[in-house]
Structure 1
């Protein structure tokens, strides 16, 4: 366990857990939702505004930052926290997922991945060792192992071969990470939707030993039912005394379902991406502010919400600025979405601590099923 980094489990309710991850840069209350700051910014938000929504930690993307502005430049300028004006914890992903999904002409070997940048076509190489070095230069508090994310659909043989290579890469990541007091390294469980492969992966990671464990290879198009099918057993294969992180999730219902199955941390671009495209998540489901029904509606998005968009602006205004292509549209809707996601997390933390998570989840499901308020 890294000095200055620890996990305390405070309460459980069924499989749902609440606790705190302690880091030198501050505590992370769990279950935690991490807004995604892809290129050193949560799009359309100031860092202090992200903090105001209740976020304890942000996620940064190794792939994007290594290509632009470059990890060495970020290090010269004092590290990612100082560069982007966020003084609380940052988790960086390893770059593996973006290499697989964004880059051109990639070549995968046991050594690592060679690829061309989607930005300018320049050639790069990522391996467990280079990923650890880039994340060290960025200065993130939680570092992710370098793994391969096999594209689905894939045969069980392909998934098994990929998982075993990822486990070899996990050992190389651990060796390259070394001893970095105050910084943590998380391993990533792979194995697709096959319990035996997930179990094999969990055993391999536990033997290597990490500060936390992620559940990888989900939220890649397999659908909620298949994802929950894996989450019914996968978190329980991981050490109970370490944080469990489900990568790339998700919609509010996905997040609640994951926490109900024993997950502690999640991240997703959805609140910010949806905010920029006119979608707002509310207690009563998704609102599409672009729809004409909102043009004369003086009511807020959600009368119970305390975010700036709901406190000070009408649906009619939000509809107008979205239709007009005004920047404030993405700013207000992103703030609302991030605020709502953090309200969900706070609600779950309190419900688990008080032993009423099942009731809280039933209320959440009822609200989502109601649908939006009736048009005027």
Structure 2
């Protein structure tokens, strides 16, 4: 069994392309990870997700521990077998969801006690229980347990949360133990405060992880502030290990993050947008709900090779969305995930060829054109 490793193949400016090797297969970087919250990427079959070009999925510890339960998943052969996805899976630690979704939570040094948003039942999550739940799920990349405070927050509040997260990072490392073939990533916190980001990165490097995430961004601070942090944050992390920006994002967020040295990202946006009638295309966003599409025989994007674009017209996609038909979410989600993976492949090729600047210029120029004119 091969272990977990990261090979950097090429750089272009600060952007990097490489391969994360895991026992369950390779992850080509920069990588976009579709989100399979409750052991499913909504409206997609696992083989369809793979067909879009995804090498790895993300699962949510918080949702899976509440329903159907980590022990049950373990009894049924682990998360990969349970959801019929035999490639790598990354699980988040549950920290972000507890902070944002759970009712009546109580935070202490030990961990977080909270009431489930599903049925109100009481649960306790700590670095140790998060590591155990993720072990039961059998994920390939495990995230350290952290606290992610909502922004805006004072410097003092950010510092307190970051230092607690660093103490929890050490406990996560200790509880994770020695698991060949599985990786543990630490999470840098500190909001938009450079001194806190530096302190956090130093603490994580001292502990030592298999990869490093940049957390606490894409939580409402805006793209300019996020890029401002990424302008220095990636350089604070080891060059020879993967860097993962959590919860990002829109296509132009992803492109800007890769330009600043990020290797991995995840976001619910392409799948969530697909279910609400929003398509992401190389010419920007298309709202299929709009009446202008009702008689349009053209595809969403004539250059796209996904099933939605090769087999169906805008008129049909408009009709099934308006009629509330399930195929609407299926086709638009497939299109969006396909487009996101196309962006990643385009950037991987451009970085390898040393032509990323030209690729990015074309990307922005196409988006600036806007959608094709109505008929």
Question: TM-score, normalised to structure 1's length?
Answer: 0.99
Task: Tell me, in whole angstroms, the C-alpha distance in 2 between the residues paired with 1:70 and 1:54.
Answer: 29
Q: Deviations over 1:122-147 (max 9, x none)?
A: 00000000000000000000000000
Q: Deviations over 1:192-218 (max 9, x none)?
A: 111111011000000000000000000
In the alignment, which residue of structure 1 is the partner of 2:114?
115
Please tell me whether the aligned partners of residues 18 and 29 of structure 2 are also in contact (alpha carbons under 8 angstroms): yes
Is the partner of 2:158 in helix, strand or coil? helix
Distance 2:330 2:315 in 1: 16
**Partners of 1:366 and 1:312 in 2: CA distance:** 27
- Tell me the residue number matched to 1:352: 351
Cα distance in structure 2, aligned partners of 1:160 and 1:363: 40
- After superposition, give the CA deviation of every residue in 1:45-64 in whole Å (9 maximum; x if it has no partner): 00000000000000000000
Report the CA distance between 1:153 and its aligned residue.
Answer: 1.2
Aligned residues: 375
Counterpart of 2:251 in structure 1 is: 252
3-state DSSP of counterpart to 2:35: strand
For the residue of structure 2 that corresponds to 1:274, the secondary structure is: helix
Aligned to 2:13: 14
Instruction: Name the counterpart of 1:146.
Output: 145
Task: Report the Cα distance in structure 2 between the residues aligned to 1:165 and 1:155, rounded to whole angstroms.
Answer: 16
Alignment correspondent of 1:227: 226
SS at 1:272's partner residue?
helix
Secondary structure, in 3 states, of the residue corresponding to 1:281?
strand
Indicate the SS of the match to 1:153. Answer: coil
C-alpha distance in 2 between matches for 1:197 and 1:105: 28
Match of 2:179 in 1: 180
Aligned equivalents of 2:193 and 2:66: distance in 1? 35
Over 3 Å counting, the alpha-carbon distance change for 1:198 and 1:3 in structure 2 is farther
The answer for unaligned runs of 5 or more in structure 2 is none
- Which residue does the alignment assign to 1:30? 29
2:220 is the counterpart of 1:239: no
Superposed displacement of residue 152, structure 1: 1.3
Render the CA deviation track for 1:241-273: whole Å, top value 9, x for unaligned. 000000000000000000000000000000000
Q: Secondary structure at 1:59's aligned position in 2?
A: strand
User: Which sections of structure 1, spanning at least 5 residues, go unmatched?
Assistant: none
Residue aligning to 2:318: 319
Q: Distance in 1 between matches of 2:152 and 2:218?
A: 13
- Name the SS for the 2:279 alignment partner: strand
Separation of aligned partners in 2, 1:290 and 1:268: 23
Match of 2:202 in 1: 203
Contact 2:2–2:23 (CA<8 Å) still a contact in 1?
A: no
Q: Is residue 2:290 matched to residue 1:291?
A: yes
Q: 1 CA distance for matches of 2:221 and 2:17?
A: 27
**1:337 aligned residue:** 336
Give the whole-Å Cα distance in 2 for the aligned partners of 1:205 and 1:3: 25
Deviations 1:300-328 (A, max 9, x none): 00000000000000000000000000000
Using the size of structure 2 for normalisation, the TM-score is 0.99
Structure 1 outlier segments of 4+, above 6 Å: none
Secondary structure, aligned partner of 1:372 = coil
Name the CA distance, whole Å, in 1 between partners of 2:305 and 2:191. Answer: 40
**Compared with structure 1, are the counterparts of its residues 213 and 259 closer, same or farther at alpha carbon in structure 2 (3 Å cutoff)?**
same
State the secondary structure of the residue aligned to 1:37.
coil
C-alpha distance in structure 1 between counterparts of 2:21 and 2:280, whole Å: 30
Q: What is the Cα deviation at residue 3 of structure 1?
A: 6.4
Task: Name the residue aligned to 1:280.
Answer: 279
Q: CA deviation at 1:151?
A: 1.4
Q: d(CA) in 1 for partners of 2:295 and 2:65? A: 46
Q: 1-side partners of 2:352 and 2:145: how far apart?
A: 34
SS of the equivalent of 1:121 reads coil
